[in-house]
Amino acid sequence: MPSPLDLADLPFLREALLELVLLAVTGGVLGAWIVLRRLAFFSHAAGSATFPGLVAADASGVSPTIAGIAVALGYAGGVQRAGRGGAGSAASETARDHGEATALLLVAALATGVILASDVFESGAVVDRLLFGTLLGLDTADLVLSAVVAALAAAGALALGRTWSAVGFDPDGAHALGLPAGRADLLLLVLVAVAAVAAIPAVGALLVTAIYVLPAAAARMLTASIRGLVACALGVALAEGIVGLYLAYWLDVPAGPPVAVLGALVCLVLAAVTKRAAA
């Protein structure tokens, strides 16, 4: 069994640890709103939607980050546009109501990405890295992107948290208060989509949910206030990220799967405990 201190001592693990800490900040701050505004499926789909773009960018020499963000922004804008016209329809409700379209996009994006990777660009090795992430090869640009996204998520939550809360609680009432509900929701979708892109190098497109949804879902079972949810989700995301990274190092596997399995286990145990306590 390797020493846990290796996480701080070994340079490549130190970078991976820093990346997971930055993602945990985003996961705590933004994850709370993803869970509260029922955007879990959207965040999962946003990561997957970028997959074919990342494969094409990787093969053609274009910056994967720019390509991923461009696709993610297009996806967020599309969901927002689909919601226009409904009385008081918030983006989260729109994302949920368009579940079939989201699922279709998800399947099409994954299939297109795999075809591009294996048959067109013959870069099948890229697929594993994009889908499940890697500890190796994280560069400064990845860390900078994660830091910027964490800062944007924190700033966005500070400035728009009251609006997101009012819209999530009562969309009709929020519109009547004169809040910029549509723009605030669009910004939330954009933040979630860009955050998904930032998480792909570390945990992969398929496991974005592990860092952004599972910690907040676990925290939701532990606290009854929005402030408590953010703090608790941040703590859970940090703990799961660090332990998951150690497990990945120990088992010699990509970081995404251990973090995801750990997050799922924590949620399942908490659900069982809270259900038993309520009975």
Partner 1 sequence: MNGTAVRVEQLAAAYRGEPVLEHVTFEAQEGESVCVLGPNGGGKTTLFRVLLGELEPTAGRMELSGRPAYMAQTERTRLDFPVTAFDVALMGTLAAGRWWLPPRRPERDAAAAALERVGLAGVAGVRFGELSGGQRQRALLARALVQDAPVLLLDEPLSGVDPASATLITGVFDELRSEGRALLVASHDVESARSFDLVLCLNRHQVAFGAPAETLNRAALEATYGHELIVLDDGGGTRAVTVQHHEHGD
Return residues touching partner 1 (CB under 8 A).
Answer: 36, 85, 87-88, 159-160, 162-163, 165-166, 168-180, 223-226, 229
Closer CB to partner 1, 149 or 174, in the complex: 174
Closer CB to partner 1, 222 or 261, in the complex: 222
Rounded Cα distance between 84 and 178, Å, is: 17
- Give least dist CB 84 to partner 1, A: 12
Closer CB to partner 1, 134 or 163, in the complex: 163
- Give least dist CB 212 to partner 1, A: 18
What is the CB neighbour count within 10 angstroms for residue 72? 25
Instruction: Please say whether the beta carbons of 261 and 272 come within 8 A.
Output: no
- Give least dist CB 107 to partner 1, A: 30
Rounded Cα distance between 162 and 81, Å, is: 23
- Give least dist CB 90 to partner 1, A: 11
Closer CB to partner 1, 171 or 244, in the complex: 171
C-alpha distances in Å from residue 23, one per residue of 65, 79, 91, 125, 150: 16, 24, 23, 25, 7
Rounded Cα distance between 188 and 162, Å, is: 13
Which 3-state string (H, E, C) describes 18-63? HHHHHHHHHHHHHHHHHHHCCCHHHHHHHHHHCHHHHHHHHHHCCC
Rounded Cα distance between 246 and 192, Å, is: 26
- Give least dist CB 166 to partner 1, A: 5
Rounded Cα distance between 144 and 22, Å, is: 10
Closer CB to partner 1, 169 or 250, in the complex: 169
- Give least dist CB 87 to partner 1, A: 6
In angstroms, what is the C-alpha Rg of the chain?
A: 18
Closer CB to partner 1, 129 or 175, in the complex: 175
- Give least dist CB 159 to partner 1, A: 4
Rounded Cα distance between 27 and 238, Å, is: 9
Closer CB to partner 1, 4 or 180, in the complex: 180
Return all residues near 256 (Cβ < 8 A) that are at least 6 apart.
132, 133, 202, 203, 204, 206, 207, 210
Nearest to 20 by CA among 119, 134, 125, 156: 134
Closer CB to partner 1, 37 or 129, in the complex: 37
- Give least dist CB 274 to partner 1, A: 14
